[in-house]
């Protein structure tokens, strides 16, 4: 059996020897390079674009927004809530730019140098328009309008009311509120985005290689924008160097590059520069929340009310609207809070769009409620662990319907927290707060829940006459290790060794339509789609074997590459023999169709992984430098197929959360100029910043045959608030109320100075 | 900017002599990727902040995005393509598999080379020395935990 074991990754050999092929490694004969000229203003009219000086030797073509408007249709927006305003978003700006970094023209040439040189010679005349970058200012009645076709900058305003909130607040014994500003983050996959397209006029086929998480959806979006039949487009994903939600949108380059390949009749490649990636690849988070809790005399939180304001940037990207709505819908977290009154406002500003970033709304929802729970505990002088224990949804209450409409499948939040308290030595650590004199010590808790498995998946499985197995999956990985995990699952189901299995992904010509990879859903939804196909293959193989062995199907078992009559060692046929019979018309038993293939789909059911994380920090009283002294993470992602892969996801996600808590900040100045346009300004954690994590798990199975829930986003959803809570705890006696993140020394100094500490 | 003036540059790449004709402004990253077809070194930022383009020049880590190709004339350049000998993986590569130190793999060759340079110079570094030597490169997937564990496993085995 492979499932449950830390099987080494089958992906690794090509990665560690350097043979893996990413987008920019692909070179096609006669290939051209593209470069985009981008807006340097946050808001401006384009009065003229003069390309005459840019037609350098080696330049093949230059197109502006006006040139492409009638050929490259608007970009896809998939999440549109009722009553929301959705601006039309052309791949290249037509007449007006709305954020710095918005593409206004594209240059195509013979090499990557000449197109860059030509970009400097394109003269774009702008007439600057008033811009707005602060979402609160954007909401005021005298704010400049991001989109003049709308009456204000509100994309959507949604009221979510459940239960008797007002009465519960009136009857509460205490009310505690919190304000948090969750900063804008740049997902920063190490491989930037890229697109390569080739058009074959003879067969009228467009092949697009893209560094994307969503190949099938990208095919749909490209065919819609270019008004060509979906069957004429093939999207292939090579090795993808990280995504984290930033590679699942429909981007301008995804349309323009295929169009150029069709129009020019030569392959065209575009590979993003880091500065472009930071400016013009979707950002994450950027929400301001003010939420108040009603607390009764038994320290039970009975109701929440408040407001979440999300800075959406200038345009809606594919799933932009989902993030604040999902943050709101997960706001009650792990607690039995029955009443909620929330207003969620999505606001346009002259910035790059926000969209999914690892967790996509769930980190924000979890951050808000967990910061609030710790604040309640500190304000009322109760232990934050004790407060949580009193408010958890009890283990016997599952499935549990939250007032916001989700039905949590299973969970044991108390169990996870007890384990985390034990691992961190909670009582000892609390004592340190008074015994350590040279630094301020703080402890922060986060007990959180995630929702995942939103998208359906497909698979196609074929067993060749030789007995070798190919598994095609509609999930599309970028580091998750699914080739390994899926091989483990299939090997166990068919009783063969993993070496016989090859997992294939990222090709819309060979794989049935599916949702790609995001939302912590690969293992459960992708895995179940595979199991559904494998079960049909298994059934057929058992029928063939039954005929060969003159036994009944129910008396057979698949094991060690053989199909045995149960309880015997010598009555068997080999897996290969059965596979070959499936393709042998003389030997195949009557009534069975030739071949050994199956397609499987999985209609997903939501799952709810959770965890209890505790951070211990020290703060230097002179420099306000925050040091993570200990981090304990007890995660519950249901059944575990490969603990090594799970731990890898948890550790990686945790360091992204650490970046959010302490380092990363995508900043615009008041004129809308992005200031975080290199890794020297946008600080990703390096090996030096990483503490020793103590990782542990509890296991509460989900209601699917795999029993798995999901793990990809779990620690990014859970950890940031534990760290910020710990910093606030360390400095609480000095009056520190942390509103903004990252918690940099400068920011802490400011917080304390305002308090006169 | 491509220039008409080209220089003949000779260096040793993974024990093989290489000769290229390059303009004086060409960076080693592009020479290796586009002229010599060595794809394991990768563009991540183009300004020396991420280390995805790390190579070893005479055994020392160098950022190939900030290295002019003309500056490696007569030198010894190593990439991960040159680490496994006769199909046998280098101990650091083996440790990366053993400890799940790669996820998307984009930054992985750079980290492997950093460690090789460190261990060739100092076969028995402390954990802090290992962390210090890894801190020049960025990884967005692993959180560095398993890279560090892979590194320490090689140190312990020595």
Place of tokens 């990636």: A277
Alpha carbons A357 and A675: distance in angstroms, whole number? 20
Tell whether A716 lies on the interface with B, counting CB pairs under 8 A: no
Give the distance, in angstroms, between the CA of residue A489 and the centroid of all CA atoms in the same chain. 24
- Other beta carbons within 10 Å of A91: 26
Q: Does residue B14 carry a pLDDT above 60?
A: yes
- Residue A643's pLDDT band (cuts 50, 70, 90): very high
β-strand A301-313 against A339-348: which pairing, if any?
parallel
Angle between helices A720-731 and A745-754 (to 10 degrees): 40
Q: Measure A12 CA to nearest chain B CA, in Å.
A: 6
Nearest CA in chain B to A7: B98
Q: Give the gap in angstroms from C-alpha B1 to the nearest C-alpha of chain A.
A: 6
Q: Which of A16, A118, A276, A712 to mutate to test the interface with B (most CBs of B within 10 A)?
A: A16
Per-residue pLDDT averaged across A379-399, rounded? Answer: 98
Q: How far is the alpha carbon of A252 from chain B, nearest alpha carbon, in Å?
A: 21
pLDDT at B120 over 90: yes
Please answer yes or no on whether B105 and A9 come within 8 Å at the CB atom.
no
Whether residue A482 lies within 8 A of chain B, CB to CB, comes out as no
Q: What does the pLDDT look like over A52-79, one tens digit per residue? A: 999 999 999 999 999 999 999 999 999 9
The end-to-end CA distance of chain A, in Å, is 60
Nearest CA distance, A650 vs chain B (angstrom): 9
Q: What are the φ and ψ backbone dihedral angles of A199, each rounded to 5 degrees?
A: -120, 130
Cis, bond preceding A399 (omega within 30 deg of 0): yes
| Contact indicator for A681, A746 with CB cutoff of 8 Å | no
Q: Does A684 contact B93 at a Cβ distance shorter than 8 Å?
A: no
Contact criterion met (CB < 8 Å) for A11 and B102: yes
Q: Across the interface, which of A656, A684, A690 has its CB nearest the CB of B145?
A: A690
Interchain CB contact of A549 with B (< 8 Å): no
Residue range B36-71, pLDDT digits in tens: 999 999 999 999 999 999 999 999 999 999 999 999
Q: Judge whether B29 and A274 are in contact, CB under 8 Å.
A: no
Q: CA nearest B39 in A: which residue? A: A25
Q: Tell me which chain A residues have a C-beta less than 8 angstroms from the C-beta of B144.
A: 655, 685-687, 690
Instruction: Kindly tell me if the per-residue pLDDT of B1 is higher than 50.
Output: no
Q: Is the pLDDT of residue A282 over 50?
A: yes
Instruction: Kindly give the residue spans of alpha helices, DSSP state H, lying in A597-642.
Output: none
Tell me whether residues B93 and A9 touch, CB distance under 8 A: no
C-alpha radius of gyration, chain A, whole number? 28
pLDDT class for A587, splitting at 50, 70, 90?
A: very high
For residue B105, list chain A residues with Cβ-Cβ distance below 8 A.
Answer: 11-12, 14-16, 20, 239, 241, 479
* CB atoms inside a 10 Å sphere around CB A126: 18
Kindly provide the b/e burial profile for residues A419-428, where b requires at least 16 CB atoms within 10 angstroms of the residue's own CB.
Answer: bbbebbebee
Segment A126-141 mean pLDDT: 98
In this complex, the residue of B81, B102, B143 whose CB is nearest that of residue A15 is B102
Find the largest Cα–Cα distance for chain B. Answer: 52
State CA A187 to chain mean position distance. Answer: 9
Output the average pLDDT for chain A.
Answer: 97
State residue A232 phi and psi, 5-degree precision.
-85, -5
pLDDT at A752: 84
pLDDT band of B156, cuts 50, 70, 90:
confident
ipTM of the assembly?
0.97
d(Cα A441, Cα A687) in Å, to the nearest integer? 23
3-state secondary structure of A616: strand
If DSSP codes are grouped into helix, strand and coil, which group holds residue A442? strand
Which tokens is A379 given? 């304000």
- In tens, the pLDDT along A390-445 reads 999 999 999 999 999 999 999 999 999 999 999 999 999 999 998 999 999 999 99
Burial of A298: CB neighbours in 10 Å, binned 0-12, 13-18, 19+: exposed
Of A6, A16, A481, the CB nearest to B93: A16
Q: Tell whether A298 is within 8 A of chain B (Cβ).
A: no
For residue A186, the model assigns a pLDDT of: 98
Query: Count of CB atoms within 10 A of residue A567's CB?
Result: 8
Number of H helices, E strands in chain B: 5, 5
Residues composing chain A:
757
What residues of chain A lie within 8 A of the CB of B52, using their CB? 190
What does DSSP say about strands A556-559 and A154-162: parallel, antiparallel, or unpaired? unpaired
Length of chain B in terms of residues written: 158
Chain B residues closer than 8 Å to A33 by CB: none
Whether the pLDDT of residue B3 is over 70: the answer is no
How many CB pairs lie under 8 A apart between chains A and B?
Answer: 173
Provide the pLDDT for residue A230: 96
How close, in Å, is residue B39 to chain A by CA atoms?
6
- For residue B138, list chain A residues with Cβ-Cβ distance below 8 A: 190, 679, 684, 686
Q: Using the beta-carbon criterion (under 8 Å), do B104 and A686 form an inter-chain contact?
A: no
The structure tokens 């070496």 sit at: A499
End-to-end CA distance of chain B: 47
A19 touches chain B (CB under 8 A): yes
Q: Quote the CA–CA distance of A33 and A108 in Å, as a whole number.
A: 6
Beta strands in A115-232 (DSSP E): 123-128, 154-162, 174-185, 194-200, 205-210
The crossing angle, in degrees rounded to 10, of helices B108-121 and B145-157 is: 30
Taking a C-beta distance cutoff of 8 angstroms, is the pair B3, B24 a contact? yes
Q: Tokens for A120, please give them.
A: 């400097």
Total Cβ atoms within 10 A of residue A480: 26
- Inter-chain CB proximity B143 and A114 less than 8 Å: no
Contact A16 B102 (CB under 8 A): yes
* Residue A549: Cβ within 10 Å count: 17
What are φ and ψ of residue A671, in 5° steps? -90, 5
Percent of chain A predicted with pLDDT > 70: 100
Mean pLDDT of A164-174: 97
pLDDT at B69: 98
Q: Closest Cα to residue B104, out of A213, A745, A725, A641?
A: A213
Q: 3-class DSSP state for residue A6?
A: coil
pLDDT of residue A757: 54
| pLDDT at position A756 | 66
Chain A residues 238-257 with a CB less than 8 Å from chain B: 239-242, 244
Give tens-digit pLDDT for A438-480: 999 999 999 999 999 999 999 999 999 999 999 999 999 999 9
Written as six digits, the tokens of A513 are 């339509």
Query: A692: pLDDT confidence band, cut at 50, 70 and 90?
Result: confident
> How many degrees, rounded to 5, is the angle at CA A534 between CA A532 and CA A538?
120
pLDDT score of B157 more than 90? no
DSSP string, A458-522: EEEEEE-TTS-EEEEES---SSS-HHHHHHHHHHHHHT--GGGEEEEESBTTTS-----S-TT-I
Q: Is the pLDDT of residue A596 over 80?
A: yes
pLDDT of residue B85: 85
State the Cα–Cα distance between residues B144 and A651, nearest whole angstrom: 8
Nearest C-alpha in B relative to A58: B2
Residues 6+ apart with CB under 8 A from A507: A215, A234, A235, A236, A237, A472
Indicate if the pLDDT at residue A351 is higher than 70: yes
Distance from CA of B135 to the nearest CA of A (A): 5
């Amino acid at each position: 059996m492979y499932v449950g074991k830390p099987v080494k990754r089958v992906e690794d050999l090509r990665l560690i020897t350097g043979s893996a092929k990413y987008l920019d490694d692909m070179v096609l004969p006669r290939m051209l390079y593209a470069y985009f000229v981008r807006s340097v203003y946050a808001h401006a009219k384009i009065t003229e674009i003069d390309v005459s000086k840019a037609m350098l030797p080696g330049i093949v073509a230059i197109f502006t927004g006006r040139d492409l408007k009638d050929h490259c249709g608007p970009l896809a927006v998939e999440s549109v809530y009722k009553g929301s305003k959705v601006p039309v978003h052309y791949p290249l700006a037509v007449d007006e730019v709305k954020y710095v970094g918005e593409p206004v023209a594209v240059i195509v040439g013979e090499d990557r140098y000449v197109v860059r040189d030509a970009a400097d010679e394109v003269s774009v005349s702008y007439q600057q328009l008033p811009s707005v970058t602060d979402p609160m200012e954007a909401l005021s009645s005298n704010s400049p309008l991001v989109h003049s076709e709308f009456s204000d900058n509100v994309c959507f305003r949604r009221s979510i009311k459940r239960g008797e909130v007002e009465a519960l607040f009136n009857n509460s014994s205490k009310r505690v509120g919190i304000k948090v500003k969750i900063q804008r983050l740049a997902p920063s996959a190490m491989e930037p985005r890229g697109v390569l397209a080739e058009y074959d006029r003879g067969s009228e086929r467009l092949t697009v290689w893209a560094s994307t998480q969503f190949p099938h959806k990208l095919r749909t979006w490209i065919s819609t924008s270019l008004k060509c039949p979906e069957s004429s487009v093939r999207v292939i994903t090579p090795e993808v160097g990280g995504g984290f939600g930033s590679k699942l949108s429909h981007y301008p380059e995804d349309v323009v590059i295929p169009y150029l390949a069709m129009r020019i009749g030569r392959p065209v490649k575009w590979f993003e520069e880091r500065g472009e990636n930071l400016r013009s690849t979707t950002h994450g988070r950027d929400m301001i929340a003010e939420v108040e809790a009603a607390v009764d005399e038994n320290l039970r939180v009975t109701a929440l009310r408040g407001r979440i304001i999300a800075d959406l940037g200038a345009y809606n990207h594919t799933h932009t609207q989902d993030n604040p709505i999902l943050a709101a819908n997960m706001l009650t977290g792990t607690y039995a809070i029955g009443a909620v009154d929330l207003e969620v406002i999505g606001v346009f500003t002259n910035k790059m769009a926000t969209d999914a970033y690892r967790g996509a709304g769930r980190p924000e929802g979890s951050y808000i409620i967990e910061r609030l729970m710790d604040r309640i505990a500190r304000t009322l002088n109760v232990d934050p662990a004790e407060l949580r224990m009193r408010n958890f949804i009890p283990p016997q209450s599952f499935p549990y319907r939250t007032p916001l409409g989700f039905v949590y499948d299973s969970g044991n939040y108390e169990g996870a927290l007890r384990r985390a308290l034990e691992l961190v030595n909670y009582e000892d650590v609390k004592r340190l707060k008074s015994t350590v004199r040279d630094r301020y010590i703080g402890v922060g808790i986060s007990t959180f829940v995630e929702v995942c498995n939103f998208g359906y998946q497909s698979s196609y499985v074929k067993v060749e006459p030789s007995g070798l197995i190919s598994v095609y999956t509609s999930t599309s990985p970028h580091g998750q290790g699914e080739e390994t995990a899926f091989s483990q699952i299939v090997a166990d189901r068919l009783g063969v060794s993993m070496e016989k299995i090859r997992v294939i992904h990222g090709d819309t010509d060979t794989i049935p339509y599916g949702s790609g990879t995001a939302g912590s859903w690969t293992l459960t939804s992708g895995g179940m789609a595979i199991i559904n196909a494998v079960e049909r293959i298994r059934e057929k193989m058992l029928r063939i074997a039954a005929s060969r062995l003159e036994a009944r199907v129910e008396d057979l078992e698949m094991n060690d590459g053989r199909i045995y009559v149960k309880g015997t060692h010598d009555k068997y046929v080999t897996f290969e023999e059965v596979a070959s019979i499936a393709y042998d018309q003389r030997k195949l038993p009557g009534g069975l169709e030739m071949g050994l293939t199956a397609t499987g789909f999985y209609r997903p059911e939501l799952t709810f992984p959770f965890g209890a994380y505790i951070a211990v920090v020290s703060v230097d009283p002179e420099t306000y430098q925050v040091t993570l002294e200990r981090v304990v993470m007890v995660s519950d992602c249901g059944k575990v197929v490969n603990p090594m892969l799970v731990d890898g996801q948890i550790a990686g996600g945790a360091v992204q959360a650490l970046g959010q808590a302490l380092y990363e900040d995508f900043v615009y100045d008041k004129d809308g100029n992005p200031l975080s346009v290199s890794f020297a300004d946008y600080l990703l954690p390096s090996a030096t910043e990483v503490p020793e994590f103590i990782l542990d798990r509890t296991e509460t199975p989900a209601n699917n045959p795999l029993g798995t829930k999901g793990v990809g986003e779990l620690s990014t959803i859970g950890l940031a608030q534990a760290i910020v809570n710990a910093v606030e705890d360390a400095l609480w006696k000095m009056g520190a109320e942390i509103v903004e993140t990252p918690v940099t020394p400068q920011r802490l100094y400011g917080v304390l100075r305002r308090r006169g500490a | 900017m491509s220039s008409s003036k080209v220089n003949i540059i000779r260096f040793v790449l993974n024990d093989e002599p290489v000769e290229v004709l390059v303009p004086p402004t060409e960076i080693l990253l592009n020479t290796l990727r586009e002229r010599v077809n060595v794809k394991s070194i990768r563009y991540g930022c183009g300004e020396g902040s991420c280390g995805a383009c790390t190579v070893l020049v005479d055994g020392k880590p160098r950022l190939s995005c900030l290295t002019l190709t003309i500056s490696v004339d007569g030198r010894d350049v190593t990439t991960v393509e040159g680490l496994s000998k006769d199909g046998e993986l280098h101990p650091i590569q083996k440790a990366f598999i053993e400890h799940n130190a790669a996820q998307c793999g984009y930054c992985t060759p750079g980290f492997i080379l950093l460690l090789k340079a460190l261990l060739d110079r100092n076969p028995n570094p402390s954990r802090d020395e290992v962390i210090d030597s890894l801190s020049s490169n960025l990884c967005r997937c692993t959180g560095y935990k398993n890279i560090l564990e892979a590194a320490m496993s090689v140190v312990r085995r020595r």
